[in-house]
Copies of this chain bind each other. A is one copy, B any other.
């Protein structure tokens, strides 16, 4: 069996943020599997089959990728950002556990990538320069009560917070409640970054206070980062720098 499967992170958008390791895997692959907008970022070439699928079919997509690798294909499952952060790696391992025992003998690799929070943080300065947490705000796979509980504990711990999937057409109201909880626990003056489509031509960066933050500032392509109590702005010509000092006091 010469097939393999690599679950690869293709970064936030700019080709200059794709690691050579991932480019190499894409060059050796026979099949690319993933959500259509990510698959479309892989250049077509002879001998390469692109399998673009819809959102919310992660398990089916993962099972299909494993089956193809088991039949001898060289399969890259692409995720935006990093595959291990709210992306396809966990879905592939869920499918692996649920699938045929023979699949566990496959050559499986996870290839890391530049995840959205680190791309957004770099563009803004260094808001994640001290202790922080990363929370997926989608309640598709967890109850809203758990999200709220984690927000309150993270605020109590004074973590900076990186929020993935803040808002979508299917979930238009949750993020307004998130902002309410954050205002209540962190106060109106806490700084918050809305980083949209980072590293692409549509990139938009905006830093406001929680008092000024509005749900409409986020959409499906927005990474939201809330500062800790220590996060500050350095004013300068052009856009100010948002960063969290290394020291806690």
Contacts and interface: CB of A to CB of B under 8 A. Distances in A.
A179 interface: no
Interface size class of chain A, counting residues whose CB lies under 8 Å from the partner chain? 35 or more
Interface of A: 11, 14-21, 24, 58, 82-87, 89-91, 93-94, 96-97, 104-105, 108, 110-115, 118-119, 121-123, 125-136, 141-143, 146, 149-150, 153-154, 156-159, 234-237, 241, 243-249
18 contacts: A14-B21, A15-B20, A16-B20, A17-B112, A18-B19, A19-B19, A84-B129, A86-B129, A86-B130, A93-B234, A93-B245, A110-B126, A130-B136, A131-B135, A131-B136, A141-B246, A150-B158, A153-B153
B85 A129 contact: yes
Contact of A16 (B24, B85, B243): B24
A89 B243 contact: yes
Nearest to A155: B153
A123 to B, nearest CB: 7
Contacts of A104: 234-237
Contact of A90 (B16, B93, B126): B126
Listed from nearest, the 10 A-B pairs whose CB atoms lie closest are A90-B129, A142-B248, A89-B126, A133-B133, A104-B236, A110-B122, A16-B21, A153-B157, A112-B122, A93-B243
